Amino acid sequence: MNTMFRDFFQDPVLFLSFGILGVVIVLCLFYVGFFINKIKNAEVPE
């Protein structure tokens, strides 16, 4: 288990790929929440 974390932090390709993947997932969750909030608070035109 210790070697897995050591390899993870020493390999820049693995570290950056998981880091960028984490940023993309956080952005996707933010936009899902943002658009759901916009839809809930939208005024219906008459």
Q: Angle 2-10/12-40 helices, nearest 10 degrees?
A: 90
Contact 8, 15 (CB under 8 A): yes
At residue 34, the pLDDT reads 98
Separation in Å, CA 7 to CA 3, 17, 19, 23, 30: 6, 14, 15, 21, 31
Can you give the pTM of this predicted structure? 0.70
At residue 22, the pLDDT reads 96
At residue 39, the pLDDT reads 94
What is the residue-level pLDDT of the chain in tens, covering all 46 positions? 677 778 777 888 888 999 999 999 999 999 999 999 999 999 988 7
